């Protein structure tokens, strides 16, 4: 579609929305101010750069597929991220796991990582004016093979992981301070049991003790913010997850920390959107991991589906967009990894745009019958034309064009990786 036809379509769509009381330009301005935190681990199948890593098996994670072109080192991973970011409208952030430090030839275990191991990421982000977020990595390690980390009854193992999280928070504060943008440090642990659970109280008491020790050290909120991520169940923790939603909600709210809601970490019939207005009554901010479960928390590539649209609508309707942080969290090795980033990020932004274009002010003036009718009418409004115009304005390809760019990159760059 040429520029003149795009312009015409946008003007027509803008007029249609104006008839419903929606300010399209205001919606686009709001969208442009929302940064997504793009997860680095989609680019290498949650492999990382350590020499002593263990298998993901038993850690509640599973990455399937063997699509060619996986990033093998930090330089390749950053190269792939550059390509993905060039195809996503807006200014965004990059989310790191501790296992992606550049450790050099020396063996550095996770309880010894420091800011110096993330200097390459810092320089790259600073040059591109990107913010960075961070995650402690409590899986794929010999000391995580028992299925318990911060709740381990082995004191030496528990202390190891406490020190790792403490150092991960120091790295987060360093990155946030250097980039002058608060780094969100998110904590998820795989701790749980497959069957025959008799020690729930003991494990959760140990987790609480570990968290108290970790958070005894504070960092300025201008440098970093802490969040805690729950899970309903995982592979190897089907019967019991120590860090459940109820546990972390109680801990986070009582300690003034952020709660992280992952779209794939709840029961398939449970609405994550419904939790937003409940939690933000008592918490200043919220982190949402945008993911997609299929039958279970399988971390599928995010698409523009009903669950995502419902979530974004709730955030906008509650007028809490400035209090919610969005981070992508999925990993699929069965498809082109750069395309996976772009598909998920663009789907998330499209869902948010659709929510920003809802006639919420007018809906609130109506009775229940009128609301139902107007909400249904809004579903067929021409938000696609607004999205296309936003992409052109941002200097990125349209929906029908960006995949050709990825295919060229696959042919010229990814195909050369063994």
User: If you average pLDDT over every residue of the chain, what do you get?
Assistant: 95
- Segment 392-408 mean pLDDT: 97
pLDDT of residue 296: 86
Does the global pTM surpass 0.85? yes
Which residue among the candidates 50, 223, 226, 262 is catalytic per the annotation?
262
Q: What is the DSSP string of 219-277?
A: --TTTEEEEEE--S--TT-SSEESS-HHHHHHHHHHHTPEEEEETTSS-TT--SHHHHH
For 160-176, what is the mean pLDDT? 98
Please give the structure tokens belonging to residue 377. Answer: 């009418």
Q: What percent of the chain has pLDDT over 90?
A: 92
Three-state DSSP state, 135: strand
Least confident among 55-64, 133-142, 148-157, 223-232: 55-64
245 is catalytic: no
Three-state secondary structure call for residue 376: helix
Q: Which domains are delineated in the chain?
A: 36-337 (3.20.20.150)
Between 52 and 256, residue with greater pLDDT: 256
**Which one is catalytic: 299, 358, 388, 410?**
299
| pLDDT value for 321 | 98
Residue 312 has pLDDT above 70, yes or no: yes
Active site residue 231: yes
Is residue 159 over pLDDT 70? yes
Q: Which residue has the higher pLDDT, 222 or 297?
A: 222
3-state secondary structure of 417: coil
Per-residue pLDDT tens over the stretch 36-74: 999 999 999 999 999 766 666 667 688 899 999 999 999
pLDDT at residue 168 is higher than 80: yes
- The per-residue pLDDT for 1 is 57
Query: Residue 121 is encoded by which pair of tokens?
Result: 């990421």
pLDDT the model gives residue 31: 98
Sequence-ordered list of residues with C-beta below 8 angstroms from that of 88, at least 6 positions apart, any chain: 36, 38, 341, 342, 345, 346, 349, 396
Tokens for 371? 């609301």
392-397 mean pLDDT: 96
Q: Which residue has the higher pLDDT, 5 or 175?
A: 175
If you count DSSP H runs as helices and E runs as strands, how many of each does the chain have, helices first? 14, 10
Among 46-60, 177-191, 324-338, 354-368, the minimum mean pLDDT is found in 46-60
Marked catalytic residue, from 178, 223, 226, 297: 297
Catalytic annotation present for 297: yes
Annotated catalytic, 399?
Answer: no
Is residue 262 annotated as a catalytic residue, yes or no? yes
Q: Among this protein's residues, is 329 annotated catalytic?
A: yes
Judging by beta carbons within 10 Å of its beta carbon (0-12, 13-18, 19+), is residue 340 exposed, middle or buried?
Answer: buried
Residue 169 has pLDDT above 70, yes or no: yes
pLDDT given for residue 257 in this prediction? 98
Q: How many CB atoms lie within 10 A of CB 108?
A: 17
Q: What is the mean pLDDT of residues 113-121?
A: 98
Which position among 45, 178, 285, 329 bears the catalytic label? 329
Residue 414 has pLDDT above 60, yes or no: yes
Do 154 and 166 contact (CB within 8 A), yes or no? no
pLDDT, residue 332, reads 96
Residues 44, 45, 178, 229: which is the catalytic one? Answer: 229
């Amino acid at each position: 579609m040429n520029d003149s036809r795009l312009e015409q379509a946008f003007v027509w769509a803008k007029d249609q929305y104006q008839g419903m009381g929606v300010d399209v330009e205001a919606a686009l301005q709001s969208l442009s101010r929302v940064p997504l935190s793009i997860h680095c681990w989609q680019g290498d199948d949650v492999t990382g750069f350590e020499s002593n890593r263990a298998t993901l098996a038993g850690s509640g994670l599973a990455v399937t597929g063997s699509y060619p072109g996986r990033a093998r080192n930090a330089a390749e991973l950053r190269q792939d991220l550059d390509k993905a970011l060039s195809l996503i409208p807006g200014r965004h952030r990059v989310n790191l796991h501790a296992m992606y430090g550049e450790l050099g030839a020396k063996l550095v275990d996770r309880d010894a990582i420091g800011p110096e191991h993330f200097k390459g990421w810092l320089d790259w982000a600073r040059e591109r004016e990107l913010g960075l977020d961070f995650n402690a990595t409590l899986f794929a390690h010999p000391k995580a093979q028992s299925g318990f980390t911060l709740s381990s009854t082995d004191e030496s193992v528990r202390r190891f992981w406490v020190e790792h999280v403490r150092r991960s928070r120091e790295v987060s504060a360093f990155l946030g301070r250097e980039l002058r943008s608060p780094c969100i440090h998110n904590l998820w642990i795989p701790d749980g049991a497959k069957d025959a659970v008799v020690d729930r109280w003991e494990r959760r008491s140990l987790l609480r003790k570990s968290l108290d020790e970790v958070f005894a050290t504070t960092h300025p909120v201008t440098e970093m913010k802490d969040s805690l991520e729950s899970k309903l169940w995982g592979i190897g923790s089907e019967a019991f997850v120590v860090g459940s939603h109820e546990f972390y909600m109680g801990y986070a709210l009582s300690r003034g920390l952020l709660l992280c809601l992952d779209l794939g970490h709840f029961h398939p019939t449970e609405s994550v959107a419904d939790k937003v207005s409940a939690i933000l009554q008592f918490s200043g901010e919220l982190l949402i991991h945008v993911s997609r479960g299929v039958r279970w928390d399988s971390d599928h590539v995010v698409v523009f589906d009903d669950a995502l649209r419902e979530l974004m609508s709730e955030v906008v309707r509650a007028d809490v967009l400035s209090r919610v942080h969005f981070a992508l969290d999925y990993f699929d090795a069965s498809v082109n990894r750069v395309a996976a980033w772009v598909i998920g990020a663009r789907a998330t932004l499209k869902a948010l745009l659709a929510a920003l274009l809802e006639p919420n002010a007018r809906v609130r003036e109506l009775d229940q019958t009128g609301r139902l009718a107007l909400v249904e009418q809004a579903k067929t409004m021409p938000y696609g034309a607004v999205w296309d115009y936003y992409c052109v304005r941002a200097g990125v390809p349209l929906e029908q064009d960006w995949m050709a760019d990825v295919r060229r990159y696959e042919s010229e760059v990814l195909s050369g990786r063994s």
